[in-house]
Amino acid sequence: MCGRVPNYLIKEVFSESLSEGHISIIRKLTQPMYDEDIAAELGIKATTVRTMLNDLHERNLVEYERIKNKATGWYTYIWKKREDKLREYIKTFLEEKINRLNEELEIERAGVFKCSCRVVSLEEAIENNFICPNCKETFVNFNNSSKIRELKKEIERTKELYNKV
């Protein structure tokens, strides 16, 4: 797919992996901008904006051009969004999320057990001979069908998002 990555996909992924501030910055960068201008337009401190731009740069989501002011000798930075990398980042994030949820689903399907103090997987219950090393209670199996249903729904939802990237 080509063109701009839709805002709802950016919001979905960034709210889990970065923050609301990063979302507003990437949304502002519809064209190259100086960090001071981003800060002024968003009403956020320039140092905060720079920190967030660096977070985005670490993830290859933005790039900058450094320009030297001949009069003062100071550098200013113009920031640009990398649309191709943004798409890649969102795709990878959603892919990893689907894998993580599938692993979780597998564990839940194998059965989960609980005592007064926690919930453990079948594997962990077996390792401890079905006795909690912490509270010494017996691990009992419990109905996790609603959790399984929730996981399946979230996997489906995430897959749909992934297909839209």
* Contact positions vs Zn ion (CB under 5 A): 115, 117, 132, 134-135
Shortest separation between residue 139's beta carbon and Zn ion, angstroms:
8
CB atoms within 10 A of CB 97: 20
Question: Is 35:77 a contact under the CB 8 Å cutoff?
Answer: yes
Closest residue to Zn ion, judged by C-beta, is: 132
7 or 134: CB nearest Zn ion: 134
Shortest separation between residue 118's beta carbon and Zn ion, angstroms:
5
102 or 128: CB nearest Zn ion: 128
Q: Phi and psi for 77 in degrees, rounded to 5?
A: -120, 130
Shortest separation between residue 114's beta carbon and Zn ion, angstroms:
8
103 or 137: CB nearest Zn ion: 137
99 or 134: CB nearest Zn ion: 134
Question: Is 146:82 a contact under the CB 8 Å cutoff?
Answer: no
DSSP structure string for 54-94: HHHHHTTSEEEEEEE-TTT--EEEEEEE-HHHHHHHHHHHH
Shortest separation between residue 147's beta carbon and Zn ion, angstroms:
19
E strand intervals along the chain: 33-34, 62-68, 75-81, 112-114, 119-121, 140-141
